[in-house]
Amino acid sequence: MAMNFFEITPQQQKATGLAEFMTDLTYKIKDDHDMAVRLMRLAEKLSDLDALFGTRWERDFDADEKKLAVQCVKLMEKQNAST
């Protein structure tokens, strides 16, 4: 079944949720401004993941960004499990 251009996949929903979590993290960072900038840039890229003209995981994310995203997923799952 074909998807319409305005529909989003479950992967896009997860990526958007992660992007929101990462954006929230940037407000909690007090001293490491470089990390806050990295999180914001990565969150922006994740918000367009697999969109029609958006970013692609294999092509547009480097190894450091992938590693940071995986770490954030683990942190988000840990926080969700504790609540």
**pLDDT tens per residue, range 8-65:** 888 999 999 999 999 999 999 989 999 999 999 999 999 999 887 889 999 999 999 9
This prediction's pTM: 0.84
Beta bridge partners of 55: 49
List the chain domain ranges: 10-82
- Number of Cβ within 10 Å of residue 11's Cβ equals 11
Question: In this structure, what are the phi and psi dihedrals at residue 15, rounded to the nearest 5 degrees?
Answer: -65, -40
Q: Which amino acid is at 37?
A: V
Q: How far apart are alpha carbons 37 and 40 in whole angstroms?
A: 5
